[in-house]
Amino acid sequence: DIYVRAEYCKKDAPLVGAVGYWSGDFGPNDLDRERVTAWVEYRTKPWRAMFEWFDATSETAPGVDLDQDAFFFQIIHREEGSRLEYLARYDHYDPNSDNDNDEEKWLTLGFNWYLEGNDCFVGINYIDKENEGAAPGAQDDKEIVAQITFIY
């Protein structure tokens, strides 16, 4: 297996990074896997914006590949000294790039309330999901999700 990660950041400039992962071809029964991710993150108080792209190819049987791709864009706003952070995010996932009408698209709107410093927060998100590959009547879903996060 080969794993490569690189990040670059200069003061007052976007963080840019990439990851590559390759495995397989080590024996007659090994299946190949490739993963490539790239991202950019920009922070200027009180805003933070992130974009990430992902591409994967998995050999599901000798000579048979499954191609997947995804991306997301997220923007976050938190005023200096505030415990409240607002966020909006758009996710796009295609579980099989070779097939049409199987994409998933999510729009998330929410907030995080920091309880103590930056080590613990409660998040509430509204997620509007569109799943083209789901059965008729189950293609659109709306959720409200709550979570508590502890960082140690």
- SS3 of the chain: the string is CEEEEEEECCCCCCEEEEEEEEECCCCCCCCCEEEEEEEEEEEECCEEEEEEEEEEEEEEECCEEEEEEEEEEEEEECCCCCCEEEEEEEEEEECCCCCCCCCEEEEEEEEEEEEECCCEEEEEEEEEEEECCCCCCCCEEEEEEEEEEECC
- Residue by residue, pLDDT tens for the chain (152 residues) are 788 999 998 887 889 999 999 887 656 666 788 899 999 999 888 999 999 999 999 887 777 888 999 999 999 999 998 999 999 999 999 999 888 888 999 999 999 999 977 789 999 999 999 988 777 766 788 999 999 999 88
Would you state the pLDDT for residue 51? 96
Q: Is the pTM of this model over 0.85?
A: no
